[in-house]
Amino acid sequence: MSEFENWRLLLSLLQNISLNPETKDSVGWALDKKGLYNTKSLYRFLSNGGFPSRMAGHIWKCRIPLKIKFFLWQMFNNKLPVGASLIKRGWRGSGKCSLSDDLETADHIFFRFRCFLARLCWSILKEVFNWGVMPRSIKSLTETWLWGKGPLPKRLIMFTFAGLSWALWTTRNKMTIEHKFSKSPSDIMYLALSYLQKWAVLLKEEDRERMEAVRSAIMNWMKMFKPNVVPISDVVEI
């Protein structure tokens, strides 16, 4: 830009400002409307260029235990200690999923669990929520699923999603760390339902009723699904 253009720009900036001889100059924190320093505004500025992350907002507002909020936040930011991430940090394990030969990534745990573990759960949610197709990755979930138009408000989709992913994660931990395998793939869904029921006390009353309807819809789908005769080890081979 030429000096002259800069000069005109400076003058136009000044035009909107007038001084007030009655008051003294003061220094304020520019990232906050009130001019007061707070870590929240600085964190936003540093991590997201000043804009609050949409996903973070939905996670923090969701009525679930704090521990689960942290878990979701880690999951959406790919910060969970899954096999692939541990290897990156120099861990000497195999980094593989305990049920298959695939490298264990977050997407693998939550969406591609070989055998039906994750997929069964998603297909049930797909039916209950009337989704067109099943989500295949955390990315596709954040881009479309959580914001899709459906019978449920976003906060309850997030609530349901929190229950299912926590169930998948705790099941994964049981298998990977304690080497305990559940007897039936539907156990995960029942575990998820038990979390949802436990957390329902945190919801507002009208939402609690809506979640109750979701719960019974899921239960109905579960009754139609009878894999109990097939132990997990057999399903894995499919």
What is the chain's Cα-based Rg?
24
When the beta carbons of 28 and 153 are compared against other proteins, the nearer one is 28
- Give me the amino acid identity at 236: V
- For residue 45, the minimal CB distance to other proteins (Å) is 11
Least CB distance from residue 50 to other proteins, whole Å?
A: 11
Tell the smallest beta-carbon distance from residue 29 to other proteins (Å). Answer: 12
CB 171 within 8 A of CB 191: yes
What φ, ψ does residue 49 adopt, rounded to 5°?
Answer: 60, 25
Instruction: Please provide the DSSP assignment of 23-74 as one string.
Output: S------TTSTTS---HHHHHHHHHHTTSPPHHHHHHHHS-S-HHHHHHHHH
Under the rule (CB under 8 A), what is the footprint of other proteins?
A: 3, 6-7, 9-11, 13-15, 17-26, 30
> Which distant-in-sequence residues (6+ apart) come within 8 Å of 41 by Cβ?
29, 31, 32
Using DSSP's 3-state secondary structure scheme, residue 105 falls into coil
Whichever of 9 and 213 has its CB closer to other proteins, that residue is 9
| Rounded Cα distance, 44 and 46, in Å | 5
| Residue number, 29 or 91, with CB nearest to other proteins | 29
Q: Considering the complex, what minimum distance in angstroms separates the CB of residue 205 from other proteins?
A: 46
Q: Which is nearer to other proteins, 48 or 197 (CB)?
A: 48
Q: How far is the CB of 19 from other proteins (least distance, A)?
A: 5
3-class DSSP assignment, residue 139: helix
Cβ proximity to other proteins: between 49 and 132 the closer is 49
* Smallest gap from residue 13 Cβ to other proteins (A): 6
Nearer to other proteins, 17 or 229 (CB): 17
200, amino acid identity? A
Helices (H), the chain: 3-15, 39-48, 54-61, 66-76, 83-88, 106-107, 117-129, 138-143, 154-176, 186-199, 205-224, 232-236
